[in-house]
Amino acid sequence: MSRLFAVLAVVLLYVGPLAAQSFNALTRVDTERSRIADEGDGARIDFYLNIGVPYRVFTLDGPPRLVMDFQEVDWSGVRSDALLTGEHIKQVQFGGYVPGWSRLVAELAQPMKVSRAAMTVDSESQAAHLNVRLIPTTEEAFATRTGAPNTAGWDLPPPEDVGPVTRRGPDTPMLVVLDPGHGGIDPGAETETLDEKNLMLTFARELREELLRSGGFEVVMTREDDRFVSLERRVAIAHQARADVFVSLHADSLAEGQAHGATVHFLSRDASDAASAKLAERHDRDELLSGVDLSSADDVVTDVLLDLARQETSPRTRALARSLVDGIAETGAPMNSRPLRSAAFSVLKAADIPSVLIEIGFISSARDLENLQNQEWRQEMARGIRNGLIRWRETDEAVRPLVRQ
């Protein structure tokens, strides 16, 4: 026996008797029965869960995507190649999203609209079946119906009542926000057995310990576990923490050429080279494919104000990047032939915080991949970053008063 809880065409949130129950145990996916398949000119999604949970379904454009959010789901054992059996959905990604929620994103081969979204829950076993059906629509109709539910900012930290920002003195610890790239639904670059998100989380934890052991540092992490964190939230965390420095950690993959060795990137409107431009584009595409709505454009006045703020921050950021390159190189770690680069990375757009993105290596390079899995090598890399931060702060404290005159 089952009962139908809710049906909505575009945005759906199930809230019923089960919503009041405890969801401490993660909901599990029945991997044997759950499928994403073609149905005529459209597609059909069937998810079988061990219990009914709140969820929502909506579409996003550029590229066309279907997004399904669930109160936290255990994705263990779920494989995208086994889940996806048709051609009308090109690829799927899934994983943790924000605290308490998981996300699945399906990239559509063509514009399609939700014609049905319904969950049935067995009244005895509480097992649930979520059925979503998609049918073709025009690009114009898709664009008018698409968009995330009107819950702007749900992925941002709650605002705090903070006082005036005060400059930290030379005797106060440097507050560093470490940003392990990717996470949750977004694995980053991948090999057959490893992915960037886990490698960077491991390294970020080790770097945090190195900084705290040496003294003179406070550290905030943008994520502590395998969880998706949007680019906007990463920047918001840095602002809320009143960070002195923001360091994003990555280990990408480049199919073209033989990229290897560490590189340090800082923000610029124009990329210093084609490879940096491609990496910045890929990072933003990863954000899109994780189900983030980037359709709203920045306000012109806001852009002007941000540019004014960056006039002071930009030279400090370049100096930070150079200092980190020197610190890493002094450890003997392999460096890229062009270790200092720039590009329009969205995660580096905190106007008033010196922000850099460090590619500590490329997992597409056999040598770099071996190093990334070597704890002793990672310790040396962490020491190099620590030394670069210390040297930059000493110089910054001496030079900054002169810049303000």
Does one domain contain both 127 and 231?
no
Instruction: Provide the domain count of the chain.
Output: 2
> What number of other Cβ atoms are within 10 A of residue 75's Cβ?
20
Q: Which domain holds residue 206?
A: 174-404
Would strands 35-39 and 42-49 be described as parallel, antiparallel, or unpaired?
antiparallel
User: Could you read off the pLDDT of 25-58 as tens digits, one per residue?
Assistant: 478 999 999 999 999 999 999 999 998 888 889 9
pLDDT, position 151: 59
Report the Cα 213 to chain-centroid distance in Å. Answer: 28
- 3-state class (DSSP) for residue 267: strand
Q: Is residue 338 in some structural domain?
A: yes
Is-contact 328 381, C-beta < 8 A? yes
pLDDT greater than 50 at residue 271: no
Does one domain contain both 120 and 198?
no
Would strands 101-108 and 65-71 be described as parallel, antiparallel, or unpaired?
antiparallel
Does one domain contain both 184 and 259?
yes
Cα–Cα distance measured from residue 213 to residue 16, given in angstroms and rounded to the nearest whole number: 49
User: Could you read off the pLDDT of 201-247 as tens digits, one per residue?
Assistant: 999 999 999 999 999 999 999 999 988 888 778 888 888 899 999 99
* Residue recorded with tokens 């370049």: 318
> What does the block give as tokens for 92?
């799927």
- pLDDT tier, 187 (very low <50, low <70, confident <90, very high otherwise): confident
Q: Is residue 56 in some structural domain?
A: yes
Single residue among 124, 145, 166 that ends a domain in this structure: 145
Find the mean pLDDT for residues 288-311: 46
Q: Is residue 268 in some structural domain?
A: yes
pLDDT greater than 60 at residue 267: yes
Nearest Cα to 72, choosing from 47, 97, 35?
A: 97
Nearest Cα to 120, choosing from 112, 135, 130?
A: 130
- Mean pLDDT of all residues belonging to the chain: 79
Does one domain contain both 264 and 350?
yes
Report the Cα 277 to chain-centroid distance in Å. Answer: 18
Report the Cα 99 to chain-centroid distance in Å. Answer: 14
Does one domain contain both 217 and 323?
yes
Q: Is residue 381 in some structural domain?
A: yes
Does one domain contain both 264 and 127?
no
Does one domain contain both 9 and 69?
yes
Interior CA angle at 337 toward 384 and 368, to 5°? 60
Instruction: Kindly give the residue spans of alpha helices, DSSP state H, lying in 107-195.
Output: 139-145
Contacts of 13 (CB under 8 A, 6+ apart): 6, 54, 55, 56, 149
Q: Is residue 117 in some structural domain?
A: yes
Report the Cα 19 to chain-centroid distance in Å. Answer: 28
Cα–Cα distance measured from residue 134 to residue 138, given in angstroms and rounded to the nearest whole number: 13
Is-contact 272 342, C-beta < 8 A? yes
Asked whether the CA dihedral 366, 372, 373, 374 is positive or negative, the reply is positive
Cα–Cα distance measured from residue 129 to residue 33, given in angstroms and rounded to the nearest whole number: 10
Does one domain contain both 254 and 395?
yes
Find the mean pLDDT for residues 104-115: 94
Angular region, 147: left φ>0, alpha ψ -120 to 50, beta rest: left
- 3-state class (DSSP) for residue 100: coil
Q: Is residue 335 in some structural domain?
A: yes
> What does the block give as tokens for 280?
């910045």
Does one domain contain both 46 and 93?
yes
Single residue among 145, 160, 188 that ends a domain in this structure: 145
**φ and ψ at residue 284, rounded to 5 degrees:** -70, -35
pLDDT, position 274: 55
> What does the block give as tokens for 140?
């114009």
Query: What DSSP line would sit under 49-94, residue for residue?
Result: ESS---EEEEEETTTTEEEEEEESEE-TT--HHHHB--SSEEEEEE
The more confidently predicted of residues 301 and 78 is 78
Distances (CA, A) of 316 to 21, 24, 34, 267: 51, 45, 52, 12
Does one domain contain both 345 and 217?
yes
Looking at the DSSP bridge assignments, the partners of residue 285 are none
Would strands 262-267 and 217-221 be described as parallel, antiparallel, or unpaired?
unpaired
Does one domain contain both 191 and 238?
yes
Amino acid at 188: G
Q: Is residue 195 in some structural domain?
A: yes
Cα–Cα distance measured from residue 145 to residue 66, given in angstroms and rounded to the nearest whole number: 12
- CATH code assigned at 125: 2.60.40.3500
Cα–Cα distance measured from residue 40 to residue 136, given in angstroms and rounded to the nearest whole number: 10
Does one domain contain both 179 and 319?
yes
- pLDDT tier, 24 (very low <50, low <70, confident <90, very high otherwise): very low
The more confidently predicted of residues 341 and 167 is 341
Q: Is residue 154 in some structural domain?
A: no
> What number of other Cβ atoms are within 10 A of residue 152's Cβ?
10
- pLDDT tier, 156 (very low <50, low <70, confident <90, very high otherwise): low
Cβ neighbourhood burial of 194 (10 Å; 0-12, 13-18, 19+): middle
> What does the block give as tokens for 244?
């002195």
- CATH code assigned at 316: 3.40.630.40
Cα–Cα distance measured from residue 294 to residue 166, given in angstroms and rounded to the nearest whole number: 32
